Amino acid sequence: MATSAQRRQEIGAGVWDDVLRALYGPSEEVLARQRDRWCQALAQFECYFGPGRQVELYTAPGRAELGGNHTDHQHGYGLAAAVDLDLVAVASPNTDRYIRVKSWGFNKLDVIDLSQQDPRSEESTHSASLIRGLAEGFRGLGRPVGGYDAYTVSSVLRGSGLSSSAAFEMAMGAVMNGMYGCGLTPAQVARLGQYAENIYFGKPSGLLDQLTSALGGVVFADFQDPESPRVEKIHTRELLPAGMSLCVTDTRGSHSELTAEFAAIRREMEAVAACFDCQVLGQVDEAAFWAQLSRVRACCGDRACLRAVHFFEENARTLAEHRALRAGRFEEFLRLVRQSGHASFTLCQNVYSSADPRRQSLSVALALSQHILEDSGGAWRMQGGGFAGTIQAFVPANCLERYCAAMDSVFGPGSCHILTLREQGAGLAIG
């Protein structure tokens, strides 16, 4: 390890440009921006934790969900891609058994006393709970857990559906795994991130977000056995054909306060599963569901039934999307993406919150996308948990300038992002 000042000088001088190019692509403009970003993170670490500390730099990507909206937590299929929007963590070990993390954009310093192992009510739904949960996950596997000080800076849009929480979890998990030589695989660290989010943070998330951030690339996962999911990494070069861009638009409506809405989707799906003496919909025979629809409606209500239909359709669609990508049938993949977006409206009903129907930023963004892209061969869908946040669109080159300008005009300058897919998962970038 080198000191923060030494690393800052090296990055500024271009010593680590190959590392940055691998993460963010060959653009000289992007490279200059990332050099400055990483140097600023090192300088801020010094401000909060003092100069002269030996440091390591870790990074974890955000992700774009390509298919499998609300299927992973029901033991179905998932499809997602790591993207170049990421979290960077500057970290240094300490000996006092405390973890201290300061994140750019947040006023609070997270301080975790590692002698206190159980979930703490005052940390619920806050980042400190994720750190504590990860530490206890490592400890539960018999791995060493030690203190560290860290400063993080993230370009993953918070509360947007690009999974800023998974990027944070996987960055903190990578620090613990790498700094103390724990030797866990990326998939194992992803499991601990889900555990921290479910048990300590209090959000009943699935595992796809953490797996994608941990592994990088395009990830297809089969969660039939959630304890040992079957995971396939598809290299990013196999996804986007020439002349097609993946865009996400931040509609500036955060979903960070909508945990109850997300939880209701899982709760209602599992209520339907319980009608068949099952825990999740992935264990339910679809034909039996349709045969007993009247009974299920009486027991669970109509919305729960529609969300169950969404699961069955979306799960089959995600498998078809995976096969289309592997076979190079990109037009078929785009057709399935459009179907997925429609199902979010009509079946899963997670495009806007029913408690506040005046706010429908995702609906507006999807309608505008359809208006621009419908005859172009592109595709558009909501992504992530839903209710607010971002939409994604596959945009042909001849529409790209018009599409980005239209989105920025409605949702604010800089709201539309052209993403680069990222091959590298979470881990140590500069040791």
Whether residue 319 is found in the same domain as residue 196:
no
Domain count, the chain: 2
Whether residue 83 is found in the same domain as residue 228:
yes
| Residue span of the structural domain in which 339 resides | 244-419
Whether residue 91 is found in the same domain as residue 42:
yes
> Residue 304 belongs to a domain with what CATH number?
3.30.70.890
Whether residue 174 is found in the same domain as residue 211:
yes
pLDDT for residue 258: 77
Identify the residue whose tokens are 């800089």.
414
Give, for all 431 residues of the chain, the pLDDT tens digit. Answer: 899 999 999 999 999 999 999 999 899 999 999 999 999 999 999 999 999 999 999 999 999 999 999 998 999 999 999 999 999 999 999 999 999 999 998 888 999 999 998 988 888 888 999 999 999 999 999 999 999 999 999 998 765 556 788 999 999 999 999 999 999 999 999 999 999 999 999 887 778 899 999 999 999 999 999 888 899 998 776 678 889 999 999 998 765 567 788 889 999 999 999 999 999 999 999 999 999 999 999 999 999 999 999 999 999 999 999 999 989 899 999 999 999 999 999 999 999 988 888 889 999 999 999 999 999 999 999 988 888 888 999 999 999 999 999 999 999 999 999 998 999 999 999 99
Whether residue 203 is found in the same domain as residue 144:
yes
Whether residue 132 is found in the same domain as residue 20:
yes
- Quote the pTM value: 0.88
pLDDT for residue 205: 77
The pLDDT tens digits of the residues spanning 369-413 come to: 999 999 999 999 998 888 888 899 999 999 999 999 999 999 999
The pLDDT tens digits of the residues spanning 289-319 come to: 999 999 999 999 999 999 999 999 999 999 9
Whether residue 249 is found in the same domain as residue 213:
no
Whether residue 186 is found in the same domain as residue 271:
no
Whether residue 304 is found in the same domain as residue 204:
no
Whether residue 325 is found in the same domain as residue 183:
no
Whether residue 221 is found in the same domain as residue 249:
no
CA 232 – CA 243 distance, rounded (Å)? 26
pLDDT for residue 365: 96
> Residue 36 belongs to a domain with what CATH number?
3.30.230.10
Whether residue 216 is found in the same domain as residue 318:
no
Taking Cα atoms as reference points, which of 213, 431, 208, 234 lies closest to residue 321?
234
